[in-house]
Amino acid sequence: MILFKKAADINNWLLKSKAAGKKIGFIPTMGALHRGHTSLIDASKHAGSISVCSIFVNPAQFNDAKDFDNYPTTIEKDIDALEKAGCDVLFLPSVSEIYPAGTGNAKTYDLGYLETVLEGKYRPGHFQGVCLVVHRLLTIVPADDLYLGQKDYQQCMVIKKLVELEKLITTIHICPTLRETSGLAMSSRNMRLTAEAREQALKIFESLSYLKNNIKPGDLTGLKQTAVNLLTNAGFKVDYVEIATAGDLDIINHWDGNRKLLAVAAAFLGDVRLIDNMLL
């Protein structure tokens, strides 16, 4: 695996590879890698692309300074995991390499409704920061294909919108959420949980599964409240447990039995905020 730290260096190298007829698959991450991340590398490798992973804990997308300070970093282990996964290129930039002019005068992206619901509502500014970094990364890494995890469903929709708004040529591939055998969605933030808290964290999966197993056409308010109670009674501070349309994240309280739906949840265990979702 080749490691680049400078934007100009990786950009030159990748442009040469592209000129030689290679396709570039890109997997942006914030590190503290787990099998969910390496499954994205697998998908890119499967397509026969040069697989580029970036590790950059993007300060612009943290609406909570403590969350940023506490974000796990395990760079030696990450490099090892990427080598084992057969990743071709790692981009490991500094903040000044990504934001040479800072973020004070950063452009804003018109994300419309997407920025007003769920993660958009509970993490103000978060998706602007996501767009800023992904846009910048895609100017450095001329990716044909971008591999994203369904675990961050709304983020996938935001990045699709970014690609549309900026008329980028990258194709987005959304890969399934990898879970522990218990059902807990793999997440870098799980590293901050004690063994006991990991057991508790399972309740998120259980509450989404409850929605999946019990949804019926008609009023959904009682069902949603039971799912919230499941988490509250397990010691979570719940931001939301919601049912939304899978296509446009329209939050619904009544189901016609036809529209394709998604259950989504975000909740704190102590100061660790976990999110998950499940297609119903």
Residues marked as catalytic: 37
Q: List, as one string, the DSSP characters of 132-158.
A: HHHHHHHHHS--SEEEEEGGGHHHHHH
Any contact of residue 37 with ligand AMP (CB under 6 A)? Answer: yes
217-256 footprint of ligand AMP as x/- string (CB under 6 A)? ----------------------------------------
Choose which of 7, 10, 24, 40 interacts with ligand AMP (CB under 6 A): 40
Any contact of residue 123 with ligand AMP (CB under 6 A)? Answer: no
Q: List, as one string, the DSSP characters of 161-183.
A: HHHHHTT--PEEEEEPPPB-TTS
Nearest-approach distance from CB 253 to ligand AMP, in angstroms:
28
DSSP secondary structure letter of residue 189: G
Angle at 126 between CA 240 and CA 10, to 5 degrees: 135
Any contact of residue 114 with ligand AMP (CB under 6 A)? Answer: no
Any contact of residue 187 with ligand AMP (CB under 6 A)? Answer: yes
Choose which of 137, 162, 185, 264 interacts with ligand AMP (CB under 6 A): 185
Any contact of residue 85 with ligand AMP (CB under 6 A)? Answer: no
Choose which of 4, 17, 36, 275 interacts with ligand AMP (CB under 6 A): 36
Stretch that binds ligand AMP, among 4-12, 35-43, 165-173, 263-271 (CB under 6 A): 35-43
Residue 256 tokens read as 């016609």
Residues 189, 272 contacting (CB under 8 angstroms): yes
Residues 106, 132 contacting (CB under 8 angstroms): yes
The stretches of 73-118 forming alpha helices (DSSP H) are 75-85, 95-98
Virtual torsion, Cα 173, 120, 244, 30, nearest 10 deg: 40
Choose which of 17, 25, 38, 39 interacts with ligand AMP (CB under 6 A): 39
Identity of the amino acid at 227: A
Any contact of residue 136 with ligand AMP (CB under 6 A)? Answer: no
Any contact of residue 126 with ligand AMP (CB under 6 A)? Answer: no
Any contact of residue 192 with ligand AMP (CB under 6 A)? Answer: no
134 CA to centre of own chain: 12
Any contact of residue 178 with ligand AMP (CB under 6 A)? Answer: yes
Binding to ligand AMP (CB under 6 A) within 145-164 occurs at 148-149, 151-152
CA distance 194 to 184: 14
How many Cβ atoms sit within 10 Å of the Cβ of residue 256? 8
Any contact of residue 186 with ligand AMP (CB under 6 A)? Answer: yes
Nearer to ligand AMP, 99 or 255 (CB): 99
Residue 170 tokens read as 């990258």
Any contact of residue 30 with ligand AMP (CB under 6 A)? Answer: yes
How many Cβ atoms sit within 10 Å of the Cβ of residue 121? 12
Choose which of 51, 177, 190, 207 interacts with ligand AMP (CB under 6 A): 177
Residues 192, 71 contacting (CB under 8 angstroms): no
Any contact of residue 201 with ligand AMP (CB under 6 A)? Answer: no
Residues that bind ligand AMP (CB under 6 A): 29-30, 36-37, 39-40, 148-149, 151-152, 175, 177-178, 185-188
